[in-house]
Amino acid sequence: MNLACKEIRRNILRASRASGHGHIPTTFSVIEMLCAVYETMKFDPARPDWPERDLFVLSKGHAALGFYSVLAHYGFFKPEELLTYGAFQSRLGCHPDRLKVPGVELSTGSLGHGVAVAVGMALALRIQNSPRRVFTLIGDGESNEGMVWEAVMVAANLRLANLAILYDNNGSQRRSLPIPNPTERFKAFGCDTLEVDGHDLAALKAALTKPAATVKVVVGNAIKGCGCPTLAANMFEWHRKSPNPEQFEQFMKELEAA
Amino acid sequence: MRKQFKDTVVELADRDERIVVVLGDISHFLFIPFQEKHPTRCYNMGICENALVSIAAGLCSQGFHPFVHTIAPFITERSLEQIKLDLCYNRFGANIVSTGASFDYAWDGATHHCYTDMAILRLLPRMEVLQPGSKTELDTLIRSQYNSGNPTYFRLSDFGHPHDVPVKFGKGNILKNSGAKVTVMTAGPILGNVMEACADLPVNLVYFSTIKPIDKEIIERFRHTQILVVHDAFGLLEAIHEVPDLRVSCLGLPDQFCVWYGTVHDIRKMISLDPGSIRNWLQKKLAATENHC
């Protein structure tokens, strides 16, 4: 495992342990995808509102702790602040708030919204003839929501080549409404669709930088809880849980071995 | 009012490059000249109201002033969460312009009736809720509020009232103040019926084109009188009650779907909001007030 991605995961475990809040498996699913975005997009952590920055929207807002850990890794704030996750006066809620957290472009949490707002952002940039790009990360569970597909239809119809959608294909909905063939579905909707290993940073970066004639979708095949076999094997049980001291030590050891 | 909406927006868009029109497959032909003039700023995006509102939020995030336009129940009741979160919570000030107010689409049945929109939207923080009663009022309110920074709801009707009321955002209008003990309060297109109903009755008459923020000051001026609210939607009565301890009665909507067709006038008559029925109700209230005194 990439060392930076491993340290980001450690910070997630520390914050979850300290705060009592969870969503660890879903964040472990998307770390490489988030890092691939931040190693592709233009940004300046010292100037989060830099007018020439690219935009990223975390549509699956419940992966906020992973997002915060990545933002801290890329210098938007100090990693120590992650320990305040979910606390009453913290900036770092269990879903991201654009008015509080530097680097957050949209307050999300209700599933399906972020990708549609990202479509609007991409359209805005195209109207402005801007070279800036928009990236968004959606979940496969989130994609049970009808608005995801409304947004994808509009983006494909407008041929928004400045928009890249990452799809976290971690099988989280296999117990309710699975989406078994996302690559074929996005292709059928008219998207320029690539399927890669969702934990292969180089492959993700290559997919994100590959030119596209229309909206791009990168289906990242991922493991919910990647890095900790116990989490991966029990992703439903650990969806919102925070580890106790023994579990924390166990997960840190598992992560070390990853 | 739809044509006025188009005319006003076309004129504003000529001098404000930040205006973008997003249509939910309604008023398509009306906006063809706009689309030809500003091809990058007019989109008929399709029948997907939820996405339209969120896309408008994305446009706002990059400095645009979008107008999202489609049929009232679908862009308000269906898309409430998108308005609440992506516009209000995220502080993106898009304009939502509906058509088909209350029973304008009477013939289409209850799926196309819309009377809860203002009552619901006025509950959302930062939301501005406007019910223009005529083309002139619409023109004034669009020019005043399209770039206010807050999400703004413009509720268009095809059946505006014929009166000339000089409206201003956030302000009510005193149309008649005879020092009467009873004050009729109303809003939007139903003013036509209300004016006809109370023409020679001893009442004061206050009119609102802004439901939120409601003009509390003007309500306070009449708090010593019996207030009779006449409205063909929910929202005005609730807004008036922001001023506490008033004596209020309301002639509004029944707690049932209006399952008839015909025209807006047919429905209004059926639910006692035609001029004659309003007058009868007002006369009974006036008599009761006199007896009480």
Architecture per CATH, domain B2-155, reads as 3-Layer(aba) Sandwich (3.40)
Does pLDDT of B79 surpass 90?
yes
Model confidence pLDDT, tens digit, residues A47-74? 999 999 999 999 999 999 999 999 999 9
Find which of A154, A158, A162, A165 to mutate to test the B interface (most B CBs within 10 Å of its CB).
Answer: A154
Model confidence pLDDT, tens digit, residues A83-128? 999 999 999 999 999 999 999 999 999 999 999 999 999 999 999 9
Dist CA B163 CA B191 (whole Å): 8
Q: Which helix or strand (DSSP H or E) is residue A205 part of?
A: helix A201-209
- How many CB atoms sit inside 10 A of residue B111's CB? 10
Q: What is the pLDDT of residue A175?
A: 87
Q: Which residues of A touch B91 (CB under 8 A)?
A: 99
Dist CA A206 CA A187 (whole Å): 19
Residue B166 one-letter amino acid: P
pLDDT tens for each residue of chain A, 258 residues long:
999 999 999 999 999 999 999 889 999 999 999 999 999 999 999 999 999 999 999 999 999 999 999 999 999 999 999 999 999 999 999 999 999 999 999 999 999 999 999 999 999 999 999 999 999 999 999 999 999 999 999 999 999 999 999 999 999 888 899 999 999 999 999 999 999 999 999 999 999 999 999 999 999 999 999 999 999 998 888 888 899 999 999 999 999 999
Model confidence pLDDT, tens digit, residues B157-206? 999 999 999 999 999 999 999 999 999 999 999 999 999 999 999 999 99
Looking at the DSSP bridge assignments, the partners of residue A9 are: none
Bond from prior residue into B213 cis (ω within 30 degrees of 0): yes
Confirm or reject contact between A151 and chain B (CB < 8 A): yes
Helices (H), chain A: 3-19, 24-38, 64-73, 113-127, 146-157, 182-188, 201-209, 229-233, 245-257
Token pair 């071995």 is found at: A257
Distance from CA of B10 to the nearest CA of A (A): 17
Per the CB < 8 Å rule, is B43 touching A158?
Answer: yes
Tokens of A4: 């930076």
Token pair 């076309």 is found at: B10
Dist CA B279 CA B293 (whole Å): 21
Judge whether B152 and B122 are in contact, CB under 8 Å.
no
- Longest Cα–Cα distance of chain A, Å, equals 54
Check if B2-155 and B173-292 are the same fold: yes
Looking at the DSSP bridge assignments, the partners of residue A56 are: A135
For residue B241, give every residue at least 6 positions away whose Cβ sits within 8 Å of its Cβ, in sequence order, or none. B248
Please report the sign of the dihedral spanned by the C-alpha atoms of residue B34, residue B40, residue B41, residue B46.
positive
Does pLDDT of B293 surpass 70?
no
- Provide the mean pLDDT of chain B: 97
A52 DSSP assignment: T
Per the CB < 8 Å rule, is B51 touching A150?
Answer: yes
Q: How far is CA A251 from CA A12, A239, B181, in A?
A: 11, 15, 75
Distance from CA of A59 to the nearest CA of B (A): 12
N-to-C CA span, chain B: 43
Q: What is the pLDDT of residue A238?
A: 84
Model confidence pLDDT, tens digit, residues B17-32? 999 999 999 999 999 9
Q: Which domains does chain A have, with CATH numbers?
A: 3-257 (3.40.50.970)
Q: What is the pLDDT of residue A180?
A: 93
For residue A257, give every residue at least 6 positions away whose Cβ sits within 8 Å of its Cβ, in sequence order, or none. none
| Model ipTM value | 0.96
SS3 B34: helix
**B173-292 has which CATH code?**
3.40.50.920
Does pLDDT of B135 surpass 60?
yes
Q: Which residues of B touch A120 (CB under 8 A)?
A: 54-61, 66
B28 DSSP assignment: T
From the list A98, A121, A153, the residue facing B62 with the nearest CB is A121
Q: With DSSP H G I counted as helix, E B as strand and the rest as coil, what are the percentages for chain B, rounded to 5? A: 40, 20, 40
For residue A205, give every residue at least 6 positions away whose Cβ sits within 8 Å of its Cβ, in sequence order, or none. A36, A39, A40
Q: How far is CA A222 from CA A109, A166, B194, in A?
A: 21, 11, 63
Burial degree of B88 (CB within 10 A; 0-12, 13-18, 19+): buried
CA angle, A132 as apex, A129 and A133 as ends, to 5°?
A: 115
Residue B235 one-letter amino acid: G
Confirm or reject contact between A8 and chain B (CB < 8 A): no
Per the CB < 8 Å rule, is B64 touching A122?
Answer: no
Judge whether A168 and A222 are in contact, CB under 8 Å.
yes
Dist CA A18 CA A33 (whole Å): 25
Find which of B59, B81, B82 to mutate to test the A interface (most A CBs within 10 Å of its CB).
Answer: B59
Confirm or reject contact between A100 and chain B (CB < 8 A): no
Judge whether B201 and B235 are in contact, CB under 8 Å.
no
Sorted by where each begins, the domain ranges of chain B are 2-155, 173-292
Dist CA A256 CA B80 (whole Å): 46
For chain B, give the number of residues: 293
Judge whether B147 and B91 are in contact, CB under 8 Å.
no
Per the CB < 8 Å rule, is A119 touching B63?
Answer: no
